[in-house]
Amino acid sequence: MKNNHSCQAGSTTAEQRAVAPKSCASGFNRMRSKLSFERLVEMASQMGMDNPLFVCHDRAAKATTLINGKEFINFSTYDYLDINAHPEITEAVTKTAGIFGTSAGASRLVGGERPPHHDLERALADLYEVEDCIVYVSGHAANVSTLGFMFGPRDAIFHDGLAHNSLVQGARLSGATRYSYAHNDCDALEEMLKAHRGEHKYAVIVTEGLFSMDGNIPDLPRIIELKKKYDCMLLVDEAHSLGVLGKTGRGAREYYGIDPTDVDMWMSTLSKAMCGCGGFIAGRSDLIKFLKYGSPGFVFSVGMPPVIAAACRKALEIMLREPERVHKLQHISRYFLEYAQSKDLDTGAAQGYAVVPVIVGDSMVSGFLSQQLFKRGIYVMPVSFPAVKEGTARLRFFISAAHTEEHVRKTLDAVVEELPNAQAIVEKYRREHQDEAQDD
């Protein structure tokens, strides 16, 4: 007789089986979906909105993209420096694939390494003028695994209130006490440090070089002062600032002119300006060695494919060789911000570097606004709760060096025209279904 592996312990009669509850799996899925984007998409569908997620592109998504044979102005891709699909990268990838294939084959710890891994890590360490670097196969895993491995229950992690999900998840995994300070508020951070630093063995301050939802920059010199004053380590996530800040794209340290060794862990993804995937931590050699021998996301994961390492190395080379790409990005980003503000659009705390939100407040309005723009040949994604706080839903624009002033004007003029229409659609639906909402 087969063992009973259902959620209900003991034997089950035919009558009981007829009225048995749903399985754990189906019950779990229903429960969790109430907290997910799926529920929002379902609600939007009932209001007549198309699902904006998982749109399939027909070619490399640049300043413009092709979707179902139609060309769109594209503001939903991280190709900040217009390097993705560069012929030199394609050539490097083709050559590398011919030698090493498309997989690292195993964890680098047990299956060995390939020259592209060393080349990329050395280039990134040199970029930050630090001793060494470790490359993970995933940017999200780089943060989760690094924080989760390095810190424990006796320690403390002080992170910005708008820190990326990967940083928060890493802090939770570590078991360290987690302190979330008000976004970009160094006074609030110092109050927390003053009150709690002495309770813990080790501590780390975690921030971003350019915040991915708001497009603003932390006061890194002040944070460095606090990290020294209160004996903390410091991790700076440069996912959206590498290639974006500084005269040559070297990120927050170049932007501020700080000593790179004042930051213990320089982290970034390789999926934005570097046109690949994965992430890295750059810092002291002893710290990097510690991670290479113990960090679960490195030790127990397959290594980065050599072709991706080669692509990222070549992208970095192009960025440093052609700083005009960085200058173009910075110019068009400032133009976007200034033009949006001239149209009285709410750009929040954005400072005009690659990421600029247009905040509309209501989640459904942001969705319908995105859909209306899509009909006009403009592709930009809405961002709503829980990715941002309730009441701060927005369209988030990723800007590329390939965008033109005409792209910007056409897009933002359309936003101004379509925003009232999106608001009217939502208001009408809510009026018509007010009785149903009260019944619920």
Task: Return the active site residues.
Answer: 212, 240, 272
133 contacts 125 by C-beta, under 8 angstroms: yes
From first CA to last CA, the distance across the chain in angstroms is: 46
CA 78-82-84 angle, 5° bins: 75
Between the alpha carbon of residue 278 and those of residues 58, 166, 317, 318, 343, the distances in Å are 23, 13, 17, 19, 38
Task: Retrieve residue 220's tokens.
Answer: 């890194």
Question: Which distant-in-sequence residues (6+ apart) come within 8 Å of 292 by Cβ?
Answer: 109, 134, 298, 299
- Torsion angles phi and psi, residue 398, rounded to 5: -95, 125
Q: Which residues pair with 205 in a beta bridge?
A: 158, 234
- Nearest-angstrom CA–CA distance, 209 and 235: 10
- Nearest-angstrom CA–CA distance, 266 and 281: 5
292 contacts 109 by C-beta, under 8 angstroms: yes
Q: Hey, what amino acid is at 182? A: A
- Nearest-angstrom CA–CA distance, 293 and 402: 41
Determine the length of the chain: 440
Beta strands in 238-334 (DSSP E): 265-269, 279-283
